[in-house]
Chains A and B, each alone.
Chain A
Amino acid sequence: MTPLRDVAKIIRSKNAGPFTITIDIIFDDEDCLDALLNLLNRKLVAQLYKVNSEDIEIIPYRPARAVKINIPRGTPSGHPGDTDVYGAQQHAPLLGLEVECG
């Protein structure tokens, strides 16, 4: 088992509009993507991010050997109390996810 941070090429988060954070995990090879897809489900993301699993979308995107995870923001972008206006630093809970590949 290897942590995702060591096998993924890109792990990034960003706003997709002011109410949603979209997280892209992109790999160099198909095997690691498949290994992650075997493991990844809404329940797991819900635990990692403390959000309701019904509000999570997981979308594999094979043209880029990638998977996209959409989660709702706690506070909308730029609203009082927001901590990340661009949503660019919300990927960290995924970095340590153990994947069987690489």
Chain B
Amino acid sequence: MEIRILSPTAILGYGFPVQSLEYGVSLEPDVIAVDGGSTDPGPYYLGEGVPFVSAKAVERDLFYLVKASTEREIPLLIGSAGGAGAEPHVNWTLERLRRITQKLGTRLKAGVIYTDVDKGELIRKIESGTYNKPIPHSRLSPLKTETISNTKRIVAQVGVEPFTQLLKEDVDVIVAGRSVDIAPFAALPWLKGMDKGLAVHLGKILECGAIAAEPGSGSDGMMGILRDNEFEVFPLNPSRRATMTSIAEHAMYERTDPFREHIPGGYSDMSSVLYEETGDGRVVVKGSRWIPVQRRLVKLEGASFAGYRFIVIAGARDPDFLSRIDGLVSKTLESIRELVGDEGYSVHLRVYGRDGVMGDREPEPRITHEAGLVFEVLADEKDKAKTVAGLVRSTLLHIGWEGRKTTAGNLAFPFSPSDIDAGRAYTWSVWHLIEEENFLEYSRMMLKEV
């Protein structure tokens, strides 16, 4: 048996050359699968319920993908829709899809998977002992009722099963909320009873589009052909190729464990994998094995509101000022405390040109001839954030010291206004594993005509 999986791009909305897609389609794929999300851009997007890709970019990609999948009559599977994969992200993606089907004059049978976690129900189940206590990430505390209540949005990162379930309904397209990256890629192979471990490993490579090719790209596609005892991968663009090295390197990409790809229900053991180059920029992979686990664990992700954020960006070129930055900033904050107190706000400074990128971990915190200062002001009220940001700017601009020569001002602002409203800030408050009793406990599925 053989299943051909076309991955057009690393993330829906990152784009791809039309020729790459056309070439992929000419190879008669059985499914087009694409990952829509990532937590890498930070907790803001989940908390705020907004995507990190633009509507235009997603509609552009969907136009070609819907066209290709309807012409070939194969399913189009989208995981972690809209980035963070919560309800507003899924609905936003469905809206993009609706515009495209209108434009193409077609109707699609869509399977929709919402993976939002009802906070009240989660609290009840934890308090009543229906659940074993969720396992926190080592950096977080056990999940308390208060933490859950204070979290703006919680999603479960579901596994492959909700996708296979909807594929049984003969859907044209699946738009799923937060799901493991490999889910849309492994769904059809799992449904057809193919090797789960190989399918997961193949999914791990394909979910990043052509990032695993040489040269790599997040805006181009790859093809995966899954067979009974092996899979073959290759890029869809003749200017790229897959090599043993590029494919092996990718197994370790953005994961702490290069030997195991964990998903709910088990993991793909990639510790005794064999890679072989078969010419034409193709690589064949054998030996990834599926290891089921006893406890089925699903990761919950949640973001909490951390405050309103204003930022102030300023440069400095005066050597005397630069040699005193830390002391002068302390004095500035002290005088701000005298004016507005020290409750309800915090100020964080990065000094670019010294340790702006690595902070305390910078091994060479030296300033040369100039530095860039970025102040982050967070406050529980927007007005307070704005007030403190303004005071940081005006106070540090004019703060004096013994022997100061630059008495007209210490800072060079690149922008007017110099205090920039950076919206609401969020933190990751939930990153816990929870037991899932049945495959679909955290998947709310429905069929929709789009």
- Which A residues fall within an 8 A CB radius of B? 10, 14-20, 22, 24, 26, 48-51, 57, 59, 61, 63-66, 68, 70, 72, 74-86, 89-90, 92-93
Contacts and interface: CB of A to CB of B under 8 A. Distances in A.
A24 B249 contact: yes
B104 to A, nearest CB: 35
B428 A79 contact: yes
Contact of B252 (A50, A68, A92): A68
Interface in B129-175: 137-140
A54 to B, nearest CB: 11
Contacts of A78: 41-44, 426-428
Query: Which 3 A-B pairs have CB atoms at the shortest separation, nearest pair first?
Result: A78-B42, A64-B248, A81-B348
A79 B275 CA distance: 39
B257 interface: yes
A93 B364 CA distance: 9
Interface in B188-221: none
Contact of B428 (A61, A76, A81, A83): A76
Interface in B35-64: 39-44
A81 B376 contact: yes
Interface residues of B, number: 43
A83 B350 contact: yes
A83 B39 contact: no
Contacts of A83: 350, 356-359
Nearest to A50: B361
Given A22-B255, A89-B357, A80 B249 contact: no
A50 B364 CA distance: 13
B363 interface: yes
B235 interface: no
| Most B CB within 10 A of own CB, among A17, A20, A65 | A17
Given A78-B44, A85-B41, A16 B256 contact: yes
Nearest to A55: B138
Contact of A24 (B43, B252, B257): B252
Contact of A15 (B254, B259, B358): B254
B281 interface: no
24 contacts: A15-B39, A17-B137, A18-B43, A19-B140, A22-B255, A24-B253, A50-B361, A63-B251, A64-B251, A64-B258, A74-B359, A77-B39, A77-B43, A78-B42, A78-B43, A78-B428, A79-B306, A79-B428, A80-B348, A85-B42, A89-B357, A92-B357, A93-B358, A93-B363
A61 B258 contact: yes
A96 to B, nearest CB: 9
Contact of B361 (A15, A74, A76): A74
Nearest to A26: B249
B297 interface: no
Interface of B: 39-44, 137-140, 245, 248-249, 251-259, 273, 275, 306-307, 346, 348, 350, 356-361, 363, 376, 378, 425-428, 431
B431 A19 contact: yes
A57 B254 CA distance: 14
Given A68-B258, A76-B428, A14 B358 contact: no
Contacts of A81: 348, 359, 376
B68 to A, nearest CB: 31
Given A14-B253, A20-B256, A63-B251, A79 B360 contact: no
Nearest to B137: A19
Nearest to A76: B428
Contact of B139 (A63, A64, A76, A90): A76
Contact of A50 (B40, B275, B360, B428): B360
B307 A80 contact: yes
A61 B253 contact: no
Given A61-B252, A85-B41, A80 B427 contact: yes
A62 to B, nearest CB: 9
Nearest to B275: A63
Contacts of A65: 245
A80 B350 CA distance: 11
A80 B253 CA distance: 26
Nearest to A90: B358
Contacts of B378: 80
Contacts of A75: 359
Nearest to A15: B40
Contacts of A26: 245, 249
A71 to B, nearest CB: 9
